Structure 1
Amino acid sequence: MSVRNPLRLLDLAGMSLLRDEASTITALKDLPTELFPPVFMEAFYGRRSETLKAMVQAWPFVRLPLGGLMKMPHLGTLQAVLDGLDILLAQKDHPRRCRLRVLDLRNTSQDFWRMWSGYRVHGCSSSLMAQVAEDRSRAEQPRAPLEVFIELHLKERTLDGFLTYLIRWVEQRKASIHLCCKKLRILSFPMENIMKVLSMVQLDCIQEVQVNCTWHLSTLAVFAPLLGQMNKVQRLLLSNIHMSALGGQEQQHVVQITSQFLRLHHLRDLHLESHSFLEGCLDQMLRCLTNPLDNLAITHCLLSDSDLNHLSQCPNISQLKGLDLSGITLTYSSPELLPVLLEKVAATLQELYLEQCGIMDSHLETILPPLSCCSQLTFFSLRGNLISMAVMGKLLRHTSGLPRLSQELYPVPQESYSSQRILQPGRLAQCRAELFEILRVLGRPRIIWISSSPCLHCGDNTFSHPQPIVYR
């Protein structure tokens, strides 16, 4: 009789230790390093508070990735770990064996527990390798305040019990604890609570910020000085910021917000979505960018000709890898602005989104020459625009020489609709056959997707999951 997945001697030893909590605590000073993670896991899932408290004080690794065990945060286990840290912090001389510098409460680092618990890990993940290198660097530095890493998703009206307890604990120990967060996401959270939480966080640790709140411009202006202190931010997403008519006070708010970009020296990805205040003010923000961007998304906003002109002249977009102008009506602008913009980014551009831009045949034809020069382009989406079969054929011919282009999303040709803008399956099948023939004549293996969704003008959503047109 065979036994599937038998327990290892290491597992049995850990389980044996935990039968007597007092003996476990006594044995910690002689416990082999490789036994610490599996014994800790057993104590964690068994909610053995005293054992957890003692193990924290003897933890032989630089990082304790507690968040990797906490699918659902349990306040009791967190309290036990923090109680252990309190005892550790109160000691003038740390135990010789303890190397703990970081308590990681993020839902990451499962590889650490798998590795030490005997599960097969097929190679080390890049994140684990980076973390090991980071921890090795920490271990070589003079002892500094303990770092506690969390992910902040502020999306409720009030703070939950877990975060409330942690914030209070950090507040009482600010001299010896640094609360760090690399990703900050704010969804419908009162500004008073935001200020309270962020007053406890090391703002210069934050690398990614997402604000997806229906805020008035004045509220964003209150938040802006905090954003300016996040000087390590690499990725910033702001959406749904609204304002009344642009008066003197509103103009002052715009200046307060855009001036903070001067402090974001590491910003690489900028995403601005559904902003009513950008029209006529985009140049103020662009002037405050201090370094070249890798990705820029300005979507579902109103932009004037002068905004697009300033965008095409901005020196910090000349190295863009990704450009998204979806939902920006480009048909009212001067016809040369979009081609000029594409010429500026043609050498580096890898992804281009022009969805729901009101683009029709005449507009598309003007961008075909610069588009055909985007030699690094891998992804192009033109969904939600009104394009004829004739111009789609020209588009396929102009892009056939792009060596890296592998994902192409195009709108259903106009000829596939009736005069009442109803999609006709028979006409669509004929258009697909004609497009396949164009691909065959061009002779290059290629996959294109034809979709009628989203379509800003006709609202049709009956063809959201199309089959690709494949030529191999």
Structure 2
Amino acid sequence: MVLSLVNLCAREVVSDHSSSPCWLRWVPRELYRPLLEAAFSSCRPLAVGELVQRWPERTLRVGGRRKQGQTAPNRLCIQALLLAVVRGLSDQRCALKVLDLCGLQGDEGGLGDPMGGWSLTVALCTMAVQARAAALRAQRREGERERKRFSALEREKDVKRERGPWKREKESNGHEASTGKELGLKDRERTGSCGILGEKELIKGVRRRMEMERKRETAVTGFGGSRKEAEEKDVSSEVLVHVRADLFVNARSLERFRVALSTLGPLKLQCRYLRVEEISVSSIRTLLDLLPCQGLLGIDIRYSSLGVAGLAELLPLLSSFPALNSLRLHYCNLDFRRDHPGQEDTLRDLSLGLAKLQELRRLSLTALRLPGQLRVLLSSLPQPLQILELPYLSLSPADLAYLSCSHHASTLQQLDLSENHLDENTLPSIRRLISQASSTLQHLCLSGCGLTDGLLGLLLPSLGGCWALKSLALALNPLSMAGLMDLVRMAVRMPSLRHLLYPNPLEDYQPGLPDLPSSAQLLDWPLDETTDINTTSSQLNRVLMESGRSELFLTCDLLNYDKDLVD
């Protein structure tokens, strides 16, 4: 990545924190963005905090899709950013109104110590609670100062009012002549009478101040309200900064998340994508009730024992979010069996619930064990899907036959059928499905589908017709070296293809592997150490060089493969 002159200068400026008082006062608002980017890339949390605390624009976006090779911001920098946002609430130089952190989180424990989704969510919840507490403290201090000023003014008025009779009597008696005895007697009488008058006036002044203070509190708090309740109401009446992010909640952070969303204050959390793990149906319902209806684009539920009945209970709640376009369910213990009483009615409820999701464009169902029921689920969706992920679903031939003829086939951009066994009976449906999606399909995953050399040979013509395909994943399929070479020769003729995840050929494994090994066996079986693995890579790269497709990335690394890098 080639840096511009502005970026190079920005890195040099933020490298020395001791000089920040010199340049922060004079830097124009147009340079705040490159300075902040330089502070993030150079891991300068102090510079991040100072820039954000006096951010000159209404909106600050940090995160989003990263370029290839670009790491997520450092954890310390993110923490400094969040602390600076809270401090900026009381800083007149800060104009921030919207903080967009969508896509900010990185992988936990990744390169450069990024902040993962769970840690970021906990930090945001803590920030919202701390901002409210700071606003309450500031309002109480201001209220105390106001009460002291009011009391001082009232005391000054009372003193002037109490001195009035003394001054008037002194002026009226100043011109009278009297003897020493008469003067002493008058002084004693005047002192006694004025002492009584002063005490009465003092009592009246105290009562008057108490009455006025009581009226003032009544006007502030209302009838029957306390001062603390009034202060909390004032703090929650105005939102100063809206914070938008992708949030990740599990059983450990559930209570903190609930408190943050139910707490009203100067910072308001808004969620773009919500991911929940290991949470019951009732807890998910509680979270959905707390989230604002506007703005939620997707929900990802993982490792939660929803059951078919639990999902049917949640779907009507999801329909209250008008912008929801993504629903992902991973390992949620959905198991449909015809011999269970009431399952037919529950599945019908699922269909009705999905029919209410008007904007749904992405549906991911992982290991839900619903064989033969794909038509019931997908046919009820009002709009065709663009992303469909069905790994580990034990799809039947009837499911694949329906999918190839459904209204979703011609609009699919991403399709994941990994770990669904394909054979001669299902291959015609797969070919028809790929042909229907040939003009729109960008990402296709058929890993672990049991594709042999013969099956792949029948499928290659259909794959070659996908001119929009950017990534193709075929890992953990029992292909020989000859079948793998045929695959690469087809791949280099696809102009849009950028990533190919290929399987290790059967020749690279140690002896003893079955003739038709499963994906689990290919994953666990050791590779032959006597065979040079680089030989396979060299042969494949030779095909790339001969065809002039050096930009096509070939890999057999299943764990580090990421199709999103091609976008």
1:433-458: per-residue Cα shift (whole Å, max 9, x none)?
4434544554543545353x66xxxx
Cα 1:437–1:200 change in 2 (3 A) is closer
Task: Specify the alignment match of 2:527 in structure 1.
Answer: 423
| TM-score, structure 2 as length reference | 0.57
Letter in 2 for 1:221: A
Query: Which blocks of at least 5 consecutive residues in structure 1 are unaligned?
Result: 14-33, 95-99, 108-150, 455-463, 467-472
Change (3 A) 1:244 1:367: closer
- 1:343-362 superposed matches below 5 A: 343-362=435-454
Partner of 1:198: 288
Pair 1:435-2:540 in alignment: yes
Q: Does 1:306 align with 2:398?
A: yes
Q: Is the 8 A contact 1:232 1:264 kept in 2?
A: no
Separation in structure 1 between the aligned mates of residue 447 and residue 397 of structure 2, nearest angstrom: 19
The answer for the alignment partner of 1:73 in structure 2 is 126
Structure 2: how far apart are the matches of 1:411 and 1:230?
41
Say if 1:179 and 1:399 are closer, same or farther in 2 by CA, change over 3 A: closer
1:320: Cα distance to partner? 1.7
Instruction: Say which one has the larger Rg.
Output: 2
Q: Of 241, 253, 273, which aligns to 1:183?
A: 273
Instruction: Give the drift of 1:364.
Output: 0.7
Kindly indicate whether residue 389 of structure 2 is the aligned counterpart of residue 297 of structure 1. yes
Work out the CA distance in 1 between the residues paired with 2:22 and 2:538.
65
Residue 260 of structure 1 deviates from its aligned partner by: 2.0
Measured in 2, the distance between the counterparts of 1:259 and 1:4 equals: 61
Deviation, structure 1 residue 386 = 0.5
Taking the aligned partners of 1:390 and 1:218, their CA distance within structure 2 comes to: 48
Of 440, 445, 466 in structure 1, the residue corresponding to residue 550 of structure 2 is: 445
User: Residues 84 and 343 (structure 1 numbering): CA distance in 2 closer, same or farther, change over 3 Å?
Assistant: farther
1:267 to 357, 360, 363: 360
Checking the alignment, whether the CA contact within 8 Å between 2:409 and 2:433 is kept in structure 1 is: no
Is 1:166 the counterpart of 2:260? The answer is yes
Q: Distance in 2 between matches of 1:286 and 1:46?
A: 47
Cα shift readout 1:14-60 (whole Å, capped 9, x = no counterpart) = xxxxxxxxxxxxxxxxxxxx999439999x959999x95x669x986
Is the 8 Å Cα contact of residues 311 and 341 (structure 1) preserved in structure 2? Answer: yes
The residue that corresponds to 2:250 in the other structure is 155
Q: Does 1:221 align with 2:312?
A: yes
Distance verdict in 2 for CA 1:402–1:81, change over 3 Å? farther
User: Could you list the per-position Cα deviations for residues 70-124 of structure 1 after superposition, in whole angstroms to 9, with x for gaps in the alignment?
Assistant: 5682543332347889869759xx9xxxxx76632446xxxxxxxxxxxxxxxxx
Aligned counterpart, 1:127 = none
CA contact (8 A) 1:415 1:427 kept: no
- Structure 2 residue 385 is matched with structure 1 residue 369: no
Change (3 A) 1:390 1:288: same
Give me the CA root mean square deviation: 4.3
Which amino acid is the alignment partner of residue 169 of structure 1?
Answer: T
2:48 corresponds to 1:38: no
Amino acid across the alignment from 1:260: G
One-letter amino acid of the structure 2 residue matched with residue 273 of structure 1: T
Partner secondary structure for residue 459 of structure 2? helix
Distance 1:48 1:300 in 2: 45
Query: CA 1:369–1:102 in structure 2 vs 1: closer, same or farther (change >3 Å)?
Result: farther
Q: Give 1 or 2: higher helix fraction.
A: 2
The equivalent of 1:414 in structure 2 is 506
After superposition, the C-alpha distances for 1:287-343 in whole angstroms (9 at most, x for unaligned) are: 122223222111111110000011111112312221111111123743211111110
CA displacement 1:221-269 (0-9 Å, x = unmatched): 2212112222311222111132263334222222222322222222222
Distance 1:66 1:408 in 2: 32
Answer whether contact 1:157 1:188 (CA < 8 A) is retained.
no
Q: Distance in 2 between matches of 1:323 and 1:411?
A: 19
5 Å-filtered alignment, 1:45-60, equals: none
Residues 204, 229 of structure 1: 8 Å contact kept: no
Whole-angstrom CA distance in 2 between matches of 1:169 and 1:443: 59
Taking structure 1 as reference, are residues 155 and 341 closer, same or farther at Cα in structure 2, changes over 3 Å only?
Answer: same
CA displacement 1:100-159 (0-9 Å, x = unmatched): 76632446xxxxxxxxxxxxxxxxxxxxxxxxxxxxxxxxxxxxxxxxxxx543301573
Alignment of 1:389 with 2:493, yes or no, is no
Between the aligned partners of 1:450 and 1:319, the Cα distance in structure 2 is 28
Partner amino acid for 2:255?
Answer: D
| CA distance 1:158–1:362, shift in 2 (3 Å) | same
Contact 2:125 2:260 in 1 (8 A): no
Tell me the secondary structure at the aligned position of residue 153 of structure 1.
strand
For the residues of structure 2 that align with 1:287 and 1:192, how far apart are their CA atoms?
28
The equivalent of 1:25 in structure 2 is: none
Using the alignment, how far apart are the partners of 1:400 and 1:65 within structure 2?
Answer: 40
Equivalent runs, 1:48-127 vs 2, <5 Å: 62-63=97-98, 73-74=126-127, 75-81=129-135, 103-106=241-244
Cα distance change, pair 78–327 in 1 and its aligned pair in 2 (3 A): farther
Does the 8 A contact of 1:328 with 1:356 survive in 2? yes
Change (3 A) 1:302 1:60: same
Structure 1 residues 84 and 377, CA gap change in structure 2 (3 angstroms) = farther
Pairs aligned (count): 376
1:241 aligns with 2:332: yes
Matches within 5 A, 1:125-136: none
User: In structure 2, which of residues 410, 427, 430 is the aligned counterpart of residue 318 of structure 1?
Assistant: 410
Distance (whole Å) between structure 2 residues aligned to residue 289 and residue 238 of structure 1: 16
Distance 1:48 1:61 in 2: 11
Aligned-partner Cα distance in 2 for 1:66–1:354: 33
Q: For the Cα contact (< 8 Å) 2:544–2:552, is it kept in 1?
A: no
- The residue type paired with residue 282 of structure 2 is E
Contact 1:178/1:201 (CA < 8 Å) preserved in 2? no
Name whichever of 440-449 and 290-299 sits farther off.
Answer: 440-449
Describe the SS at the equivalent of 1:315. Answer: coil
Task: Specify the SS of the correspondent of 1:426.
Answer: coil
Conserved 8 A contact 1:322-1:351: yes
Q: What is the rounded CA distance, in whole Å, between the counterparts of 2:533 and 2:480 in structure 1?
A: 12
The equivalent residue for 1:141 is: none
Q: Does 1:258 align with 2:351?
A: yes
Go from structure 1 to structure 2 and tell me whether the alpha carbon gap of 1:440 and 1:178 turns closer, same or farther (over 3 Å shift). closer
Query: Residue 554 of structure 2 aligns to a residue in which SS?
Result: strand
Distance 1:244 1:347, change over 3 A: closer
Give the CA deviation at 1:220. 1.6
How far 1:354 moved relative to its partner?
A: 0.9
Equivalence for 2:494: 402
* 2:421–2:448 Cα contact (<8 Å) kept: yes
Distance 1:441 1:222 in 2: 57
